[in-house]
Amino acid sequence: MTSAVSSPARTIRIGSRKSQLALVQTYWVQEQLQKSFPEIAFEVHTMSTQGDKILDVALAKIGDKGLFTKELELGMLNQEIDFAVHSLKDLPTNLPQGLTLAAITERENPADALVLHEKHKGQQIDTLPEGAVIGTSSLRRLAQLRNQFPHFTFKDVRGNLNTRMAKLDAGEYDALILAVAGLERLGMSDRVHQILPKEISLHAVGQGALGIECRADDTELISLLKAIEHPQTRDRCLAERAFLRDLEGGCQVPIGVNTEINGDNLTLTGIVASVDGQKLVKDTVSGEAKNAEQLGNQLANLLRQQGAQEILDVIFTEIQRGS
């Protein structure tokens, strides 16, 4: 009589960028999954993306929507890793054939933060002096701030969070505009001098949430990943991503959003702005959260009727020219 041999538990390979923030996020996902599925081994595999390697060029001038995701996606398609953890705001709204957005985790604070040089301690964004040098690598933040604070000087800033902070502390900037969620995840909440209200800066699509991407045919893994999904965050982010997708905008286009859920009702606000801040269209839609993507499409159509497409066409032309 032969003894039964149990098949070994599956080993699941998680793909991550090598940056400190990416690893903090990926290890958090690994920990949550390990708690839910102790019989499975979860291994983290790191990769460098194009966005990690090109640090001397403004993101907008590179003009690539998959700067921080392509290498990880190739790893999944080549069966080198099973799923990847992304900051959802970095994940393009149109995914490569064969891949899917399997889960979206509970969102941290999606707002933007004002981080000041120590000489401005106690100030807020509207009390900084004329000509203050504000560092940001985001066209979305740049356009909105130029619209409201044309008297500031804006300067591009690249590098990981620690590199940016070092540049600020060295006096290259009077202030930086960064994501609250990233600062909190790296234990830098004390550096947040002001959380910018939505009236000043609508946040990026997906900001504050993590997106888990995997192969579309791996139904077993997709089912497993649902254990860490947050339904309300998913509805909010699906509405935001549909809005962005409809307008054909990438992470380096001045498109901002804000979403709120009350009961079964979802409210989505969006803006499209010119890079110089001179033109800005903004509107809001509300409806049932179960129709999140339709709400995103509805808002995109509203803004298009108000001139959003003309603004974006100018930006797309400038990006193609490399200007």
Q: Which of 40, 7, 28, 71 is nearest to 220 (CA)?
A: 40
Measured CA to CA, the distance from residue 193 to residue 125 in angstroms comes to: 9
What's phi and psi for 114, nearest 5 deg?
-95, 125
**CA distances for 30 relative to 19, 90, 183, angstroms:** 16, 20, 20
Dihedral sign (CA 207, 46, 52, 82):
negative
Structure tokens at 214: 């995997």
Measured CA to CA, the distance from residue 155 to residue 134 in angstroms comes to: 6
Measured CA to CA, the distance from residue 202 to residue 143 in angstroms comes to: 11
User: Contact at 8 Å (CB) between 181 and 28?
Assistant: no
Instruction: Pick the catalytic residue from 90, 218, 235, 246.
Output: 90
**β-pairing, 112-116 with 175-179?**
antiparallel
Dihedral sign (CA 146, 151, 156, 160):
negative
Structure tokens at 161: 């969070």
Task: Kindly state the DSSP code that residue 3 receives in the 8-state scheme.
Answer: P
Is 264 among the residues known to form the active site? no
What's phi and psi for 238, nearest 5 deg?
-65, -40
User: Contact at 8 Å (CB) between 39 and 9?
Assistant: yes
Alpha helix segments (H runs only) across the chain: 20-36, 50-53, 59-62, 70-77, 139-148, 161-169, 180-185, 219-225, 231-246, 292-305, 308-321
Q: Which residues are catalytic?
A: 90
